[in-house]
Amino acid sequence: MHSLLFGIAAALCWGVHDVCVRFVTARCGPVLSFLTVLGSGVLIILPLALYAGGWSALGPGNATLGILSGLAYAGGGYSLYRAFEIGPVRLVAPLIGAYPVLSLLWAAAQGQPPSLPQILAVLAIVAGVGLNAALSDHDASKGADRHARLKAALVWSLAACAGFGLTFALGQAASLQGGGLALILLSRVGAFLGLLSAALTLRAPLPLRGAPYPLLVLMGLCDATALGLVQFAGTLPRPEFAAVTSSTFGMVTILLAWIFLKERMNPPQWGAVALVFAGVGYLAL
């Protein structure tokens, strides 16, 4: 039960974070946006980690897993920012939110194979994502450029889904060995330094002026809280369920985009989204 609650709280935080992504990337691009979110998350977690301790539990094993988790999160998060930058929320959010499939596969590899109803729920998620993608692609048939952008959004969404699935598997495995907030901070620093190194190596543009820094800091708080909740769930029974319930962030994001960004949703698209989250909801039971 605690794993489920941690995942739901993470979903609410990520839903608020993700609906802001489209706005901030339009102002300063995905690289600077995500770097600021990661960096502000480090500054928020740092005093808590210094106070709460957990440093004595860090060892070569969980420290390495924590850093690898951070690097996977950097890749997944950047892919998310790119996907939301170029694709509609109604398409991107459900596809990224399908990472519970990977969480169940990871649990199966550790000796906890899914039941037949769970497999059917996974198939419902995949079918709903595919239907939503097809409906969104049909809407885009009026322009070749828009068609290409939706295809690119699909690729970036799949990359984000894979990155988050790997992040949670590595992060929860690290949490089993202890470390608490110190481990979460280490993962966050790994993500920040990994993305910064890639940006400097590739000479990515970093438009420092005009960036909405207060909003980015708020996003950093939401993101750090959500990731910390899911990673800390690694110390609880059935931690994969925290990853499953956290994936319902997509519904929060879609509803906020429908309300504030005025993204149109027709009944078949609502049905596809409902199918995705019905599958996710069953996996959370």
Structural domain boundaries in the chain: 2-283
pLDDT, average across residues 233-259: 75
Please give the structure tokens belonging to residue 236: 């609880």
pLDDT (0 to 100) of residue 209? 84
Contacts of 4 (CB under 8 A, 6+ apart): 241, 242, 245, 284
CA distances from 271 to 124, 210, 219, 265, 281 (A): 12, 39, 29, 10, 15
pLDDT, average across residues 23-34: 92
Of the pLDDT bands very low, low, confident and very high (cuts 50, 70, 90), residue 38 is very high
DSSP H helices in the chain: 2-52, 60-86, 89-96, 100-109, 116-139, 144-175, 180-202, 213-232, 240-246, 249-256, 267-283
- Residue 268 in this model has a pLDDT that exceeds 70: yes
pLDDT (0 to 100) of residue 1? 59
Q: Are 253 and 18 in contact (CB under 8 A)?
A: yes
Task: Indicate the residue type of 148.
Answer: A
Question: Average pLDDT over the chain, rounded to whole?
Answer: 84
pLDDT (0 to 100) of residue 240? 67
Tell the residue number behind the tokens 């959010």, with chain if given: 93
Q: Are 67 and 115 in contact (CB under 8 A)?
A: no
DSSP class of residue 105 equals H
pLDDT (0 to 100) of residue 141? 45
Contacts of 112 (CB under 8 A, 6+ apart): 240
DSSP string, 118-185: HHHHHHHHHHHHHHHHHHHHHHGGG-HHHHHHHHHHHHHHHHHHHHHHHHHHHHHHHHTT--HHHHHH
pLDDT (0 to 100) of residue 148? 84
pLDDT (0 to 100) of residue 140? 46
> Which range among 70-84, 105-119, 134-148, 266-280 shows the weakest confidence by mean pLDDT?
134-148
Q: Are 230 and 6 in contact (CB under 8 A)?
A: yes
> Which range among 55-59, 173-177, 225-229, 238-242 shows the weakest confidence by mean pLDDT?
238-242
pLDDT (0 to 100) of residue 285? 66
pLDDT (0 to 100) of residue 48? 86
Task: Indicate the residue type of 130.
Answer: G
- Residue 271 in this model has a pLDDT that exceeds 90: no
Q: What is the pLDDT of residues 208-230, one digit of tens each?
A: 888 899 999 999 999 989 888 88
DSSP class of residue 217 equals H
pLDDT, average across residues 32-53: 91
pLDDT (0 to 100) of residue 63? 92
Please give the structure tokens belonging to residue 117: 């109803």
pLDDT, average across residues 260-273: 80
pLDDT, average across residues 17-34: 91
> Which range among 8-17, 121-130, 140-149, 155-164 shows the weakest confidence by mean pLDDT?
140-149
Please give the structure tokens belonging to residue 199: 């940006």
Q: Which of 10-19, 27-36, 110-119, 224-233 has the highest mean pLDDT?
A: 27-36
